[in-house]
Amino acid sequence: MKIGIVFGGKSYEHEISIVSAIAMKDVLKEELVYIFCDTNRDFYHIPNDKIKSKLFSSGEYKKCDILNFSKNGFSKKAIFASKAFEVDVILNITHGADGEDGFFASLFEFANIPYIGPRKAACSVSFNKFLTKGYAKSVGIKAVDYKYYTKNDKVELQDFPVIIKPITLGSSIGVSIVKSQDELEYALDVAFEFDEAVIIEPFIAGIKEYNLAGAKINGEFVFSIIEEPQKAEFLDFDKKYLDFARTSAALEADITEELKTKIKDSFKAIYNNTFEGSLIRCDFFVQNNEVYLNEINPVPGSMANYLFEDFNSILISLAKSLPKQKDIKISYEYVNKIQASKGK
């Protein structure tokens, strides 16, 4: 199978996407074709033997072939005309904006290109942490209490510590733990550098955190192991950034079968039909044996490959069971009736 890996994008998480894309060379056994989107939203075909991080930081990628995009998909300039640049399926590995906000999903669906990744509706609920909270509640999953503030709101807090998160950023970018009123203004300034709104949650020291990845394939859920991630006060940008290149297997969390079932049931409720066609990772908190959703990662770092025993097989199976777009036929029956009634 020829997999087109789309990465980069106009996003604060652009560089992390590059790292994740490079990691795919070590974990996927299929034919890979790299399609890079730079911050001008120009597409380039990156040869496999040239894909290294320095290629992008130096700007050398601009010497690679440019790809054009239209309703017929990707194409490359040939001697006398354009030639279709075809792949069997796209793997959307663009973290943050463009990849997780529905921008690329809309492009791929417009061109009728099969792709692995969140659909437009899924992007709406997972890209915005404020909407994620409401979505979780609507499917019966608990979430940590929060307050929502926009850039011009007056923020007054009584209880500390809290954690401040920009609503549309991942990878802990712009996130701060605030332990006193004196630290609040600076933390808000940092968050609002990246986003127009934030959510503020109580910071619960020592709370248990578990990660589970999975997908629905041919109507059945396929799960990774449940991981208890490396525990620090919280995973900052540097820890997560380095983690995105992970290709070695993680260790399974030492928890009861009862708790495993609760976490998997919570994942199923979140995934629902909304995230069909994508492989996602959900991060959960557990307190007093109750499961709470922390975040949905619809394009997880390195596709959470390190949580699966056979990631390649899972991805290929998913690629073969993607949701199909409904073929809508336009008959103009209604318009014709109107014209007929007017005698025109």
Answer whether residue 326 shows pLDDT above 90. no
327 vs 50, more confident: 50
What's the rounded mean pLDDT across residues 203-217?
95
Q: What is the pLDDT of residue 298?
A: 97
- Report the distance separating Cα 58 and Cα 38, nearest Å: 13
The whole-chain average pLDDT of the chain stands at: 93
Q: How far is CA 196 from the centre of its chain?
A: 20
Percentage of the chain lying above the pLDDT 70 cut? 94
- CA dist 14 and 37 (Å) reads 9
pLDDT in tens, 216-238: 999 999 999 999 997 655 555 45
The conformation of residue 275, written as its DSSP 8-state character, comes to T
234, two tokens:
């919280």
Q: Which two tokens stand for residue 167?
A: 């609503």
* pTM of the complete model: 0.91
Q: Is it the case that residue 288 has pLDDT exceeding 60?
A: yes
Domains of the chain and CATH, by start: 2-123 (3.40.50.20), 124-142+205-319 (3.30.470.20), 145-202 (3.30.1490.20)
CA-CA distance, 265 to 131, in Å (whole number)?
21
